[in-house]
Chain A
C-alpha cells in the first residue's frame, strides 16, 4: 500500500478523508472533550432522560403543528410510485394482465361453493390440485405477479426520474 499512499498524496483530487481522520483521532480529542462535556458513566443518564423528555414534548408540539398544517392544507403526500403504477396499470401494455387479474378476482370472489377447488389470484388462477392432475404447470393466468411486474417495469424509469 505504501506505493499507493505516495501516489494518492501526489494527487490533489484523490483523498478527502485526511481532514476527517485528523479531527477524529481519539488521542487528540479525548482530553479536550472530557473537560468540556460530562463524560463519566453517571453523567449521561440524567442528561439522556432530560433529552428524552424534551424530545417527547417537542414531538407533541410538532405533532400538533403538523395536524394544524394538514388541516389547513388538506393535502397528503402522494407516493410517486403508486401514481406511476396506477397509470401504468391503466396503460395499453398492461391491459391484458389487468383484464386477467380482474377476471380472476371476479371468479374467485364469486366462487362461494365450498366444494370447489381452492383458487387464488396470487400468480395463476388454477387450483393446485387441478394443475397437478392435468400436469400443466404453465401459468395460464396473468394475475397479481404479472400485473405487478408489468406495472413496475413500466413505472421504474419514471419513478427514478421523480425521486431524488
Chain B
C-alpha cells in the first residue's frame, strides 16, 4: 500500500498517505482500493502520455537532407599509411602516380605539386627531370619582350589539362573536374571516400533510380548523380613492378598517392611526433627526478619538538 502510494504525485500522494494512515488505524472504514488504483493508474498514464507527447514533438531526429542526398557513407578501410607509426608505401605512391598520369591527368589537374617534390618520394631525379622536360612552360621574356616556351624544369609544377576552369567546364559538359592536390583533405571521408567513389560504380543503376542526362550513378556521391563516369577498369594501366592492375588495386594506389599530394609532409610529421614524444617524456622524467632531488631535504626532514629543559625546577 505504502509503496504504491509513493508513486503518486502531489495531492494524490497526500491523500493516499492519509488514507493509508486511516486504513492502519481503523480497518473498517478503509478507502476503497479501487480509488487508489485508479489514481495511480491515472498518474502513470499522464506521465507516460506527456513523455509520448514530448517525444512526438521533439523526439525524432530531423535531417535536412535525405540519405540519398547525403550519399552513402564510405566504408572504413584499414589504410596502412594512416597508422601512427607507418609511412607511405613509396612503391604504392609510384604506382599511384602512374595511375594519375595515365588516367586522371586527362581531366584533373594536380596544380600544387612541383616536379621537385616528386624527387626522392615518387621518382628519381633523372626520371623527374625527364618527365618535366616533356612539357613546355613559359620562359622569361627575351630581348624583344616575347615570351618563348622552354622545356620544363624540376621547379615547374605539374601541367594542368585545361587552361582555366571555364575551359574545363566547357570540355566536360559543364562539370568542373576539381583539382586533386588537396582532395583527400577536402572531402569528408578522405581516402575512404575517394576509394569508394572510384570503385563504387555499380554494374547497373538500381531499379527505379532516376539518373539525370549526362550524369552517372554512384551511391557514394552526394545526390548519387556524378558527372564523372567510371574510369578505372581492370588492366587499364600496366604497372612496372608487375602488380596485377585490378580496379581496386589502381584505386588504392592512386588514393594513397593523392593522400601524399595532400600531405607530403606526413612521413616527416610522424617522425617529428615520435621525436617529440620521446624527448618530452625524457624531459618529464628528468624534471620529476630534479624536483624530488631538490625537495628531498625538505621532504625528509623531521620536525621534532624538544621540550626545553627547565633546570632542576621540574622535579617540584
Contacts and interface: CB of A to CB of B under 8 A. Distances in A.
Interface of A: 14, 16-17, 20-21, 23-24, 26, 29, 33, 39, 41, 44, 48, 76-81, 104-105, 108-109, 118-124, 137-139, 143-145, 148-149, 152-153, 156-157, 159-160, 163-164
B210 A153 contact: no
Contacts of B124: 20
Given A20-B124, A29-B129, A122-B224, A149 B119 contact: no
Interface in B80-139: 92, 116, 119-120, 124-125, 128-129, 133-134, 136
B297 to A, nearest CB: 36
Contacts of A157: 78
Interface in B139-183: 148-151, 153-155
Given A148-B200, A164-B243, A120 B208 contact: yes
B72 interface: yes
B246 A109 contact: no
Nearest to B126: A23
15 contacts: A20-B124, A24-B128, A24-B129, A44-B136, A79-B199, A79-B247, A118-B210, A122-B206, A122-B208, A122-B209, A123-B66, A137-B63, A148-B219, A163-B248, A164-B92
Nearest to B77: A156
B219 A122 contact: yes
Contacts of A159: 77, 248
A156 B67 contact: no
B129 A156 contact: no
A139 B60 CA distance: 13
Given A29-B129, A118-B208, A79 B246 contact: yes
A33 B154 CA distance: 14
Interface residues of B, number: 51
A144 B151 CA distance: 50
A102 to B, nearest CB: 10
Contacts of A153: 75
Contacts of B249: 163-164
B30 interface: no
Interface in B229-259: 234-235, 243-249, 252
B73 interface: yes
Contacts of A120: 206-210
B238 to A, nearest CB: 9
Contacts of A44: 133-134, 136, 151
Given A139-B67, A148-B219, A152-B196, A109 B148 contact: no
Nearest to A39: B151
B76 interface: yes
Contacts of A145: 67-68, 72, 219
